[in-house]
Structure 1
């Protein structure tokens, strides 16, 4: 294989940094009605005032609520990754199929939970903020806090048990929010974290697949120039050290977009005994991890029921 010209490599790295630091929005293609669920369209402010669009799915007579968020470029519906241009986002890892989260909400509802699910800033139908920049969960942490404050503001939800079901970039956001504002989580019963991810890990894997791993430092610099953050500043591995809430993490073990070591490091950093790490085997597609709950919800529901009953 002929080596790529340096100018081509430079442009590739710049494009990668820009694509990650300024990800595009994806459409909200379905609503809870498509799963036969009654719901409210609601909006509430993030911690810093960004308007967030959400669905509240009530479960009559329940005293338990789960707040759900989503990965990068996704929204509360999921991701239209069976359609271009969103199909290209995870294509290198075999992630060219749709992720539809509506079944997750039906399963939670049938299990006796109210559900609040929202579009993070710069995604779905929520407001723009921070120049549209992605931060690996740092800015989005303010959305996690906003969702908790919204639940506490509703008289009809006073005293409910609250758990967080946070996915990928949303899981990072939850960990960073706990790390920086731990008092906001005093009444959160438990966490379910789907595939938290260090940005440096996914960038390393992408460069390895392109035979450009020698340019990792250059790519990190390009990301810093685009988003003002280094890879170490966008890793949940350190943030997890601040968590004192029972935590269940699940991850595709052979995910082509990262390594088992990265998620293991996040799990190991949790300074608590009430934690569990669930590996998904038999696939290399990260998107299969995003669909794991609706395919095999038992372990996650058992965790929620243990701490929220």
Structure 2
């Protein structure tokens, strides 16, 4: 029982119904869908910024979707008290002359499940990032692309650089903003769950996914990232290990910057910050995209 409960918390898909819409933010958009290399249909919004400079936003995992995160439906105890609307940063980016692709990763929002019908924390979702970049490239052959990759989105993007025929072979990608990349093992350690509960959950998740969640390590793929990368991290985040963030940053072999935020003691504070203060983060794209 404990194992299933813990595994559901970590890898159960479909916990994030879509709650926001570009129309409510005055944005011109179209609903789009595209397929991954393994045949999964992903759905999203292509928001018109009037140019073929395109930011591809990849959200964080499990309880999130392309629109962001809402506390509704998660009970009285939540890590953040209000909606985190990713369309705020999209609106800012449109104002700066970018078009924006916001899409749901497999098992999230309105996208389909993958052949492995669970959230893998990046190894499977890496295929989604590649498909999103290829979709933009097909629509805008001369596109200059920036990747805004949040938490599991940052992990997925990094894994996508490590794949054969992955993002390293897409020369139209010009820059990355990686917000709070997180290894599964660091998250579990930071939660401080009793060992027997952790082990029980990992046993169930391994049966579901077909691999040990503690084994994949996207830091191993960080040296394969080939474009300037800004790493954004709340230094007061209680759900990570700052040493892991530093290891990721040091593994990057490109022009890079580590932006440490001094926010309240919540991981979600940084997710909210990028929408509340987009000018403080998105300038990285202005330099390179």
Q: What residue number does 1:281 align with? A: 262
Deviation at 1:299, TM superposition (A): 3.5
> 1:135 is matched with which residue?
120
The alignment status of 1:64 with 2:45, answered yes or no, reads no
Selected match of 2:7 from 1, 17, 23: 17
- Residues 265 and 216 of structure 1, relative CA distance in 2, 3 Å threshold: farther
1:171 match: 154
- Aligned: 1:26 with 2:16: yes
Deviations 1:114-141 (A, max 9, x none): 1111011111001111342111111111
- In structure 2, the partner of 1:239 is 221
Distance 1:189 1:143 in 2: 18
Q: In structure 2, which of residues 131, 148, 155 is the aligned counterpart of residue 146 of structure 1?
A: 131
CA distance in 2, matches of 1:246, 1:218: 40
Seen in structure 2, the aligned counterparts of structure 1 residues 87 and 114 have a Cα distance that, compared at 3 Å, is farther
Contact in 1 for aligned 2:2/2:197 (Cα 8 Å): no
Q: Is the 8 A contact 1:87 1:95 kept in 2?
A: no
Aligned to 2:178: 193
Deviation at 1:108, TM superposition (A): 0.6
Tell whether 2:43 aligns with 1:53.
Answer: yes
Q: What are the ranges of 5 or more consecutive residues in structure 2 without an aligned counterpart?
A: none
Indicate how the Cα distance of structure 1 residues 29 and 230 shifts in structure 2: closer, same or farther if over 3 A, else same: same
Unaligned stretches of 5+ in structure 1? 1-10
Root-mean-square deviation (CA), in Å?
Answer: 2.0
Structure with the larger helix share: 1
**Following superposition of structure 1 onto structure 2, how do residues 152-163 of structure 1 map, counting pairs within 5 Å?**
152-154=137-139, 157-163=140-146
CA contact (8 A) 1:198 1:231 kept: no
Number of equivalent positions: 286
Cα 1:241–1:124 change in 2 (3 A) is same
SS of the aligned residue for 1:52 comes to strand
Q: How much does 1:265 deviate?
A: 1.4
Deviations 1:257-300, CA, capped at 9 Å, x for gaps: 1121121111111122x011111113111111111222222342
Say yes or no: does 1:290 pair with 2:279.
Answer: no
Among 40, 50, 58, the residue aligned to 2:30 = 40
Match of 2:282, SS state, is helix
Q: Distance in 2 between matches of 1:16 and 1:86?
A: 17
For residues 213-248 of structure 1, the C-alpha deviation after alignment (integer angstroms, 9 at most, x for no partner) is 576556544432332232443332212121121101
- 1:66: Cα distance to partner? 0.5
- TM norm structure 2: 0.92
